[in-house]
């Protein structure tokens, strides 16, 4: 295998910031507040924290151990456990790769909105502005309409930004994350402070946090909590494995995992204040209930928020801050996914970093063009559903299964503890052997059964086959082929060494 230019983090802080940057994203300022409200406000926070400690943190520690103690990007770390398992690492990063193809497109929307904010270009009807002008949305998933040039331009800029951010791997990322983590945090605090001073803001907060304790007895709240914890911590896509592989040998993994997980949870909690304070204000303005103005997903950021911005003092400034926050929140999640993939490619094929970055970005950009067409939103929604759920639960399940049942779990726990100030007890073995795999398989089966009973989002079955099952089948087949390649590369390396 040719020598690869492996870079290390410039400091422990850089690693922590990079991992926090990957973990905090749209999941914290959109998904968490919305899901939290839906599943009982304060009660959900309890379910969230329980899931975080029972399954999220153990899985994060497991990924750190794979990357740092076993050593390598996801494919290499799994191949080192056993050559039978290299494909699992590839599956994780391939799913991550497919996610980046559309993640960058959402960033392109946000970049366009950043420009629109200066003149509040969405006018008095942000809904038709978003669907008709920005997306050029057609009437069905089969009708591609036309490619939206402004989205393609935004997409090119996003890819250049991503490639530059990871240009020399951990070395460049170490510098970039000081900005991409602190800027969205500063903006978030500004928006929360501003939001809380608006009339009726408190109504929104009450709505967000009032606990419905009886919800804790329902299985759905637990399902939602585990899903949110996994998604938010960025586990299951090989990102945290790759990031940990750039750590020096004697790193403390347990402490790092705790800091990262708790910062992520805190950001989500604060994110809720930013969202619900303005929703409370807007509901008061319209004389309707908060429930009526609350939306999830693209609607919240690209329709509801612009609509609210129209009614705020300092409207253009708030718009600029809001979309800048979305962009800086998203960029480090996006480049972490790319870095996880690039690291796997480089360690398997011995390719040079610069070329690998550009190659991966070019392929992802070309695939991303599909999402800039008039049917883009439909495909994005469909592929996202399959990839996120499959990636999170299937890979989480396989990781825990391999480490819990096919390797010496106790030895891995000792390896983790060797350089960690806070030691993990035997509870970690129980979490890895039972809690994480059981939670993941239950979530995986329930989402697969759900999809079989009722197609996701009411899309036609053929679209589901192409955007869901076919893509997953491609990922699995590629993972098996590439896994063999990783094993070969490791053999060559060990015979050379």
Residues that bind ligand PFF (CB under 6 A): 22-23, 25-28, 96, 231-232, 234, 237, 239, 333, 336-337
Residue 338: strand, helix, or coil: helix
CB 128 → ligand PFF: shortest distance, Å? 28
CB 414 → ligand PFF: shortest distance, Å? 28
CB 292 → ligand PFF: shortest distance, Å? 26
CB 418 → ligand PFF: shortest distance, Å? 27
Instruction: Report the alpha-carbon distance of residue 198 to residue 274 in Å, rounded.
Output: 11
CB 147 → ligand PFF: shortest distance, Å? 26
User: For residue 94, what is the enclosing H or E element?
Assistant: helix 86-119
Q: Say which DSSP state 302 is in.
A: I
CB 349 → ligand PFF: shortest distance, Å? 22
Of 22 and 304, the one with the shorter C-beta distance to ligand PFF is 22
Of 25 and 483, the one with the shorter C-beta distance to ligand PFF is 25
The residue with tokens 């009614």 is 311
Instruction: Report the alpha-carbon distance of residue 242 to residue 19 in Å, rounded.
Output: 10
Of 196 and 330, the one with the shorter C-beta distance to ligand PFF is 330
Instruction: Report the alpha-carbon distance of residue 316 to residue 310 in Å, rounded.
Output: 8
Of 232 and 486, the one with the shorter C-beta distance to ligand PFF is 232
CB 32 within 8 A of CB 297: no
At 171, list the tokens: 């070395």
Query: Whose CB is nearest to ligand PFF?
Result: 27
Of 261 and 402, the one with the shorter C-beta distance to ligand PFF is 261
Of 78 and 122, the one with the shorter C-beta distance to ligand PFF is 78
Instruction: Report the alpha-carbon distance of residue 409 to residue 399 in Å, rounded.
Output: 12
CB 233 → ligand PFF: shortest distance, Å? 7
CB 264 → ligand PFF: shortest distance, Å? 7
Of 113 and 122, the one with the shorter C-beta distance to ligand PFF is 113
CB 375 within 8 A of CB 149: no
Instruction: Report the alpha-carbon distance of residue 363 to residue 441 in Å, rounded.
Output: 32
Alpha helices in 131-218 (DSSP H): 149-165, 170-196, 201-209
Instruction: Report the alpha-carbon distance of residue 239 to residue 234 in Å, rounded.
Output: 7
CA angle 163, 356, 338 (to 5 degrees): 50
Cα diameter, the chain: 73
CB 5 → ligand PFF: shortest distance, Å? 23
Burial class (CB in 10 A: 0-12, 13-18, 19+), 2: exposed
Of 223 and 333, the one with the shorter C-beta distance to ligand PFF is 333
Of 151 and 260, the one with the shorter C-beta distance to ligand PFF is 260
Of 182 and 286, the one with the shorter C-beta distance to ligand PFF is 182
Of 28 and 409, the one with the shorter C-beta distance to ligand PFF is 28
Instruction: Report the alpha-carbon distance of residue 119 to residue 406 in Å, rounded.
Output: 59
Distance of CA 48 to the CA centre of its chain: 17
CB 94 → ligand PFF: shortest distance, Å? 12
The residue with tokens 């390797």 is 407
Instruction: Report the alpha-carbon distance of residue 24 to residue 181 in Å, rounded.
Output: 9
CB 333 → ligand PFF: shortest distance, Å? 4
Distance of CA 157 to the CA centre of its chain: 20
Q: Say which DSSP state 271 is in.
A: H
Phi and psi at residue 10, in whole multiples of 5°? -75, -25
CB 146 → ligand PFF: shortest distance, Å? 30
| Sequence-separated (6 or more) residues with CB below 8 Å from residue 279 | 204, 207, 290, 293, 294, 304, 308
Of 294 and 338, the one with the shorter C-beta distance to ligand PFF is 338
Q: With CA atoms as reference, report the closest residue to 19 among 403, 418, 340, 395.
A: 340
At 248, list the tokens: 């020096």
């Amino acid at each position: 295998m040719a020598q690869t230019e492996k870079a290390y983090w410039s400091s422990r802080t850089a690693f922590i910031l990079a991992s926090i940057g990957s973990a905090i994203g749209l999941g914290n300022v959109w998904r968490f507040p919305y899901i939290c409200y839906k599943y009982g406000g304060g009660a959900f926070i309890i379910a969230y924290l329980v899931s975080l400690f029972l399954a999220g943190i153990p899985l994060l520690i497991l990924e750190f151990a794979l990357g740092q103690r076993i050593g390598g990007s996801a494919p290499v770390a799994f191949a080192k456990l056993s050559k039978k398992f290299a494909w699992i690492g590839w599956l994780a990063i391939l799913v991550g790769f497919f996610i980046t193809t559309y993640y960058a497109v959402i960033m392109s929307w946000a970049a366009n909105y950043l420009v629109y904010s200066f003149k509040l270009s969405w006018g008095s009807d942000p809904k038709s502005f978003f669907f008709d002008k920005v997306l050029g949305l057609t009437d069905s998933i089969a009708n591609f309409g036309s490619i939206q040039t402004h989205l393609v331009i935004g997409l090119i800029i996003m890819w250049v930004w991503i490639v530059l951010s990871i240009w020399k791997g951990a070395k460049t990322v170490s510098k970039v994350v000081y900005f991409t983590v602190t800027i969205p945090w500063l903006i978030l605090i500004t928006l929360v402070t501003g939001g809380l001073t608006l009339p009726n803001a408190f109504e929104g907060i009450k709505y967000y946090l009032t606990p419905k304790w009886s919800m804790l007895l329902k299985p759905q709240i637990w399902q939602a909590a585990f899903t949110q914890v996994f998604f938010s911590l960025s586990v299951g896509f090989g990102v945290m494995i790759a990031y940990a592989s750039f750590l020096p040998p004697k790193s403390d993994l347990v402490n790092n995992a705790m800091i990262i997980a708790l910062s992520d949870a805190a950001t989500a909690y604060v994110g809720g204040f930013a969202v619900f304070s303005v929703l409370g204000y807007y509901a008061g303005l319209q004389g309707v209930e908060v429930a009526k103005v609350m939306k999830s997903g693209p609607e919240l950021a690209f329709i509801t928020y612009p609509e609210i911005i129209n009614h705020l003092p300092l409207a253009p400034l708030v718009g600029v801050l809001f979309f800048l926050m979305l962009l800086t929140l998203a960029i480090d999640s996006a480049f972490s996914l790319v870095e996880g993939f690039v690291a796997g490619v480089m360690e398997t094929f011995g390719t040079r970093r610069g070329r690998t970055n550009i190659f991966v970005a070019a392929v992802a950009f070309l695939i991303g063009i599909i999402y800039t067409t008039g049917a883009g939103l439909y495909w994005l929604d469909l592929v996202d559903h399959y990839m996120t759920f499959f990636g999170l639960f299937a890979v989480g399940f396989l990781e825990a299964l391999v480490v819990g049942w096919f390797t010496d779990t106790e030895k891995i726990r000792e390896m983790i503890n060797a350089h960690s100030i806070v030691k993990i007890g035997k509870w970690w073995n129980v979490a890895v052997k039972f809690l994480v795999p059981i939670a993941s398989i239950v979530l995986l089966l329930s989402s697969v059964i759900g999809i079989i009973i009722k197609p996701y989002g009411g899309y036609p079955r053929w679209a589901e086959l192409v955007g869901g099952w076919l893509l997953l089948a491609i990922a699995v087949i590629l993972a098996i082929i590439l896994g063999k390649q990783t094993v070969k590369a490791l053999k060559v390396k060990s015979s050379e060494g």
